[in-house]
Homo-oligomer: A and B are copies of this chain.
Amino acid sequence: MLDDFDLALLDQVQRDDSRTAEQLAESVPLSPSAIARRMRRLRHEGWIARTVALLSPKLTDKRLRALVLVQLGEHADRAGKDALLRRLHTSPEVQFVYEISGTYDLLALLSCEHMDAFVEEAERLFATDATVRRYETSFVKRELKFAPFVRLSGS
């Protein structure tokens, strides 16, 4: 489905999507028109979920970020868990949620305006729900790296 050219293109645009087809042709040995064709296909076939602008830390660092590890109840019912996940999914403060192995079942990262907002949102999301056995919060002191990319080219 994807050849090496496609992987090379995806590898480029996942790091910088601001380049033109002509500029991409400097990195990938294809003509600009072929690049454009492939990029259109990659988008249409859903290999690229979306293109986003990552904001400067000048904007994001001012906010309070909290890492919440959630342990679910031992026999949490399906409906309660679904409701919890739906709350997490619709909350604009929740940036990531991972289902993980180990003592805790979920990891969520919240980005809030200030501490009061976090406490309120955490209570709404977790405390009032019988599905959640307990949750533990660590606050983010600094973001040291943010590079949500995967190595595709040459693999």
Contact = CB atoms under 8 A, between A and B. Distances in A.
A139 to B, nearest CB: 5
A10 to B, nearest CB: 6
Number of identical protomers: 2
> What is the interface residue range for chain A against chain B?
35 or more
Given A16-B51, A113-B155, A138-B104, A95 B56 contact: no
Contacts of A93: 151
B55 A47 contact: yes
Interface stretch (A25-33, A59-67, A127-135): A59-67
Interface of A: 10, 13-18, 46-60, 63, 65, 67, 85, 88-89, 92-102, 104, 106-108, 111, 113, 136-152, 155
